[in-house]
Structure 1
Amino acid sequence: MTSSPGETDSERTFTTALNALFEARAGSGEELTNARVADAINAQVGKKVISDETLRRLRKPGAPQPAWDKIQAMADFFEVPTDYFKNGSVAARGIDQELAVLREKREEQARREAQEDQEIMALARSARGLDASGRKLVQTFIRGLRRSRNA
């Protein structure tokens, strides 16, 4: 499996590999910017090895392969082997497969949450016509239902 749907090993680049790692981290709820990642990498290494501008360039198509110290620092930050950045490596294929599974799980979770949101909105719309005492009864019923489900 590859970094992007429909992408072959010959199309996989350092840029697509790096962007797949950013996407995986961002999907976990972590807000990732190039500046935050550069700061975190530099703090982890204990010296400045990469800038947000360098990360920005590396994430754009056609970026040149970075120096080894930058590859090592990014691999350490994203907790992947340096081989992940090598096109066609066993590590790259395995991690890309894991990232694809993670992406599918997140998409399924997002679909479930969207469905739940729609259901909640439908409940709210149906309560709109109730007077204050009717809405209070609905709230009391919901609290009781939650308690019985959590017991």
Structure 2
Amino acid sequence: SAQTAPVALVDLDCSAIEGFPVITKAPAGVKAVEEYGSVKISNGAKFQMELSTVYDYTLDKAKKEIEANDINKLKKYVIDEPNGIVYQTEVMGTTQYHFIYYLNGEETSYSFTNVKGPTYSLESAKTMYNAAKASKIK
């Protein structure tokens, strides 16, 4: 079967949104939009990230919540790194992939997560995770 080319990611500067001096990566043409105090970075399809400010919501806390969720059940961590995870869940027989990545600054830390709602493939989750990992604070 023909391999689909990986999505090309370009720099996306979110700093026009107050409180988010962050440059991330996204497919060309995707815009950063403020939504409920977070930043939504979405092409409306396979690439839908949410960038938020984090206070004390650590990766350990996030993992405990994920592991305790008995509706959207954790199947496995596909990627398990100090600053982020890609994980597989199952909800009502449907396999889903999600990610969380933490970008830690000196004064403020940020989290990237997939926008809740859509079902993402592993490929999509990994693309978003890698975009988040490539982010930097201005």
Shorter-chain TM-score: what band?
Answer: under 0.3
Return the index of the structure with the highest Cα Rg: 1
| TM-score, normalised via structure 1 length | 0.26
- Answer 1 or 2: higher relative contact order, Cα 8 Å, separation at least 6: 1
Structure (1 or 2) with the greater helix fraction = 1
